[in-house]
Structure 1
Amino acid sequence: MTTALHLAKSDDLPKLSALVAAFHAESGIEISDEARTNGLAPLLNGIPHGAAYLLGPARAPVGYVIVSFGWSVEFGGMDGFVDELYLRPAVRGRGIATEVLLALPKALAEAGMKAIHLEVAADNATAQSLYERTGFRTRDGYRLMTRVL
């Protein structure tokens, strides 16, 4: 893989937070800086429920991917959910996301993960094409549903 994936640590919080804020602004996700930090900091401090990876050079990352961990009886063990994937607009279209979405599942499978999921907007054909090229498939008869608590 030519795109470096770095497991983010606590001292990466400022870099990661800036990238997440850029993604949220681009996507219209309204969240306070405090709430964003509360969501990110535990991932960088070793919480066992997920991990954040910086993409590209460690000193000046060009994006990030966050995976949350779960458990699935149906899939026979640990599963994961790509919570967020973001690349700076200037580096899009270079195959970085494709590399990440091919390499990351392999690494997670080697660590025992049985399945990885993600969601995509129904009207985002570009992202759907990316996800399909990297092995993700819609599950017939299933639709992701959410209840905010």
Structure 2
Amino acid sequence: MSAALTLAKPEHLDRLVTLCAAFHTEEGITQSDEARRDALAPLLEGSPYGAVYLIGPARAPIGYLVVCFGWSIEFGGLDAILDELYIRPGVRGRGIATESLIALPRALAEGGLRAIHLEVDRENTAAVKLYKRAGFTPREKYMFMSREL
């Protein structure tokens, strides 16, 4: 099974909404399909704020990655947050997520990005192990914080 990444386009929206709904169900995130569609569509239409990558064949993706772009003085320029990563349960445990997480920074670096960040539940040892295997390191001194507007 290949973890090839394809930049998602508007024609992939229905497939992505389905994958996103499955991820949100697993994570206990309550959101309507309409809200998911409204959040994903601009990224597929070329919004400069982020991008969505399909994992596997574009006609039948086995997962997806969402990155949102920002700017960091500390890291010297353009950076990104890995907002969502999902692999279908039936194909997990085959190294697809690791392969995707290794390919993604390479693709983003070609676009001038200086760093990629993510948030992970410290108690989710499998996810922490996956991210470390892909080269991410915890910043023990810092804590990711949010405020809804």
**In structure 2, what is the equivalent of residue 29 of structure 1?**
29
**In structure 2, what is the equivalent of residue 98 of structure 1?**
98
CA-CA distance at 1:100 after TM superposition: 0.6
SS in 2 for 1:61: coil
2:133 corresponds to 1:133: yes
RMSD: 0.7
TM-score by length of 1: 0.97
Q: Which runs of 5+ in 1 are unaligned?
A: none
Deviation per CA, 1:68-88, whole angstroms, max 9, x where unpaired?
Answer: 000001110000000000000
Q: Which runs of 5+ in 2 are unaligned?
A: none
CA-CA distance at 1:140 after TM superposition: 2.6
Aligned residues: 148
Tell me which stretches of 4 or more aligned residues in structure 1 moved more than 2 Å. none
1:7-18, aligned counterparts within 5 Å? 7-18=7-18
Which letter maps to 2:90? Answer: A
2:149 corresponds to 1:146: no
SS in 2 for 1:42: helix
CA–CA distance in 1 between the matches of 2:18 and 2:36?
10
Deviation per CA, 1:104-148, whole angstroms, max 9, x where unpaired?
Answer: 101111211000000111210000000001110111310000001
2:49 corresponds to 1:59: no
**In structure 1, what is the equivalent of residue 116 of structure 2?**
116
TM-score by length of 2: 0.97
CA–CA distance in 2 between the matches of 1:120 and 1:134?
14
CA–CA distance in 2 between the matches of 1:101 and 1:3?
9
CA–CA distance in 2 between the matches of 1:91 and 1:79?
30
**In structure 2, what is the equivalent of residue 48 of structure 1?**
48
